[in-house]
């Protein structure tokens, strides 16, 4: 019987999305999926953000990522991060998201950027980054930040 990949589901239960498997969040999510979804308890002094606060945290994350590539010398195409330290849009989002304990905030920010990219006729953020100018990528971040803030204010 030849290997045709039909055994593997289209989306694996341990697919981490924005974070690669070898990152801190991707590895944690993979182990949770493989070991029965056991999670560690959060410290009691921390609380989950309200929906309005969550929108503001997503907007702050998008601002941080935008700040990492605000200078055209710090922005690159066709790679998440170069040896010189330049980043693409998703690479900047990953770098800004590393400080977070909750990867769903980074995924929410990434999905807002995906929505902006799709509204501009691209299939994903990477394609938008590679086929657009630096100013267009900055405008995409600005649009995603406005959407996140508007979502926070409407709740």
Q: Which residue reads 């405008």 in tokens?
A: 139
Please indicate, yes or no, if residue 77 is contained in any of the structural domains.
yes
Q: Count of domains in the chain?
A: 1
Q: What is the pLDDT of residue 54?
A: 84
Q: How many helices (H) and strands (E) does the chain have?
A: 6, 0
Please indicate, yes or no, if residue 94 is contained in any of the structural domains.
yes
Please indicate, yes or no, if residue 22 is contained in any of the structural domains.
no
Q: What is the pLDDT of residue 43?
A: 44
**DSSP H helical segments within 48-133, as ranges?**
51-68, 89-97, 103-119, 125-131
Low-confidence residues of the chain: pLDDT under 50: 1, 8, 10-16, 38, 41-45
Of 142, 138, 147, 67, nearest to 111 (Cα)?
A: 147
Please indicate, yes or no, if residue 44 is contained in any of the structural domains.
no
Taking the CA atoms of residue 119, residue 95, residue 51 and residue 151 in that order, the dihedral angle to the nearest 10 degrees is -30
Please indicate, yes or no, if residue 38 is contained in any of the structural domains.
no
| Per-residue pLDDT tens over the stretch 77-87 | 999 999 999 99
Phi, psi of 87 (to 5 degrees): -130, 155
Q: What is the pLDDT of residue 29?
A: 64
Please indicate, yes or no, if residue 147 is contained in any of the structural domains.
yes
Q: Is residue 121 classed as helix, strand or coil in its secondary structure?
A: coil
Q: What is the pLDDT of residue 101?
A: 80
Give the residue numbers spanning the domain of 132: 50-154
Q: Is residue 4 classed as helix, strand or coil in its secondary structure?
A: coil
pTM higher than 0.85 for the full model?
no
Please indicate, yes or no, if residue 16 is contained in any of the structural domains.
no
How far is Cα 82 from Cα 147, in angstroms, rounded to an integer? 29
Please indicate, yes or no, if residue 10 is contained in any of the structural domains.
no
Q: What is the pLDDT of residue 42?
A: 46
């Amino acid at each position: 019987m030849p290997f045709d990949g039909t055994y593997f589901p289209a989306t694996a239960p341990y697919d981490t999305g924005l974070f690669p498997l070898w990152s801190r969040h991707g590895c944690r999510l993979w182990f949770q999926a493989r070991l029965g979804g056991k999670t560690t308890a959060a410290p009691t002094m921390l609380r989950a953000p309200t929906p309005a606060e969550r929108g503001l945290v997503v907007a702050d994350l998008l601002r941080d990522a935008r700040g990492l590539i605000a200078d055209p010398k710090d922005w690159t195409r066709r790679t998440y991060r170069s040896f010189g330290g330049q980043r693409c849009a998703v690479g900047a989002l990953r770098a800004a998201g590393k400080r977070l304990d909750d990867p769903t905030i980074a995924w929410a920010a990434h999905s807002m950027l995906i929505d902006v990219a799709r509204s501009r006729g691209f299939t994903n953020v990477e394609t938008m980054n590679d086929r657009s100018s630096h100013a267009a990528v900055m405008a995409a971040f600005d649009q995603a930040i406005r959407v996140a803030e508007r979502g926070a204010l409407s709740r």
